[in-house]
Amino acid sequence: MEEVKRFSLSEVTLHSSKKDCWLVIHDKVYDVTKFLEDHPGGEDVLIHASANGDATDSFEDVGHSSTATAMMMSFQIGVLDSYDAGSDAGASAGVAASAFAAPKTNPTAAPNYSLSDYLLPLLILVVATAAWYYLTVVNKA
Ligand code: HEM
């Protein structure tokens, strides 16, 4: 089974520079150094949140999309030493599996879709409609 690395919060806050930036969100530790320049919210907020210790509240306050939460998984390097796998979703699958699972979402909360979540389906619909119109209406004229 994959070994999960555990870090203390004070250890994480030591990595709060542009060249080495770690974050704690929901007791999981993320190395976002390579993501700093690409973060749509800017690199400064991430470095600031990193130095402040736990970034969970700031992350939640922004209301990140499902795309953002899916992205997070690729940056995870471990968990906090206080992390309790038993309280996390999917605990029966083992500590390592649940520790690296997608963050818990509140099932009662309204889904948080961004515009980009709608663009691709919309584009497919427009192309399909145009193709249908061309094949049936224009072709028969
Ligand atoms: C691994 C951690 C993070 C990832 C993968 C991530 C990813 C993203 C993504 C993909 C967006 C674009 C909007 C969306 O899809 O929601 C975004 C926007 C943003 N994020 Fe993050 N983010 C992370 C952590 C944080 C943290 C800790 C903060 C706050 C301290 C933050 C603040 C913001 C802000 C202010 C925006 C801009 C929102 C807007 O302009 O509408 N992010 N982030």
CA 41 to ligand 1 centroid distance, Å = 5
Strands 6-7 and 76-80: parallel
59 in contact with ligand 1, CB cutoff 6 A = yes
Q: Are 23 and 29 in contact (CB under 8 A)?
A: yes
Rounded (5°) CA angle 12-103-121? 125
94-109 pLDDT, tens digit per residue, is 445 567 766 655 556 6
**Residue 6 has what pLDDT?**
95
22 in contact with ligand 1, CB cutoff 6 A = no
| Closest ligand 1 atom, residue 30 Cα | 1
- 94/96 Cα distance (integer angstroms): 6
Q: How far is CA 70 from the centre of its chain?
A: 4
70 in contact with ligand 1, CB cutoff 6 A = no
| Closest ligand 1 atom, residue 69 Cα | 5
Mean pLDDT of each 10-residue bin along the chain, 141 residues long: 85 94 96 96 95 92 94 95 70 52 61 77 94 86 67
**Residue 111 has what pLDDT?**
64
**Residue 92 has what pLDDT?**
39
What Rg, from alpha-carbon coordinates, does the chain have? 20
133-141 contacts at long range (C-beta below 8 A, 24 or more positions apart): none
Question: Which residue minimizes the CA distance to atom 33 of ligand 1?
Answer: 41
76-87 pLDDT, tens digit per residue, is 999 999 887 766
Establish how many alpha carbons lie within 13 A of residue 82's alpha carbon, considering only the half-sphere containing its beta carbon: 10
